[in-house]
Amino acid sequence: MNQQVKKYFSIFLLFLFVFPLVEKEVHSFNHISDLHCFSSNKHLHPLEHNCSICDYTSTNSNANFLTQNKFILSVQNFSFEPFIESIAVQNAFNNLPARAPPVV
């Protein structure tokens, strides 16, 4: 049963990730016969094609129109500890694996 679930799950993921690639190619193939103007001077044309996918724009319907700026001051205190360059204990590195040159 576990192998069957893995097989179906892998086929599902395959279709999930391949679908956008296939859809893009099918969409561009549908627009292959469209006429496009390649003129370099500025001029206007009527709408060349009517495609709901090409004309799609997303809008944010949850936009906050009333924004209030609140300035927050924060204070952080840091204590400075001096860096100790040497370790006074001679047996500090005895239980570490020997991967580097020995410590003198």
Q: What is the pLDDT of residues 7-30, one digit of tens each?
A: 999 999 999 999 988 988 888 888
CA 51 – CA 31 distance, rounded (Å)? 9
More confident residue, 41 or 75: 41
CA 100 – CA 46 distance, rounded (Å)? 74
pLDDT score recorded for residue 81: 73
pLDDT score recorded for residue 41: 84
Token readout for 22 is 């296939």
Task: Compute the C-alpha angle 73/78/82, nearest 5°.
Answer: 160
Task: Compute the C-alpha angle 64/70/75, nearest 5°.
Answer: 140
pLDDT in tens, 74-101: 777 777 777 666 656 666 666 666 666 6
Token readout for 51 is 């495609």
Task: Compute the C-alpha angle 22/28/34, nearest 5°.
Answer: 160
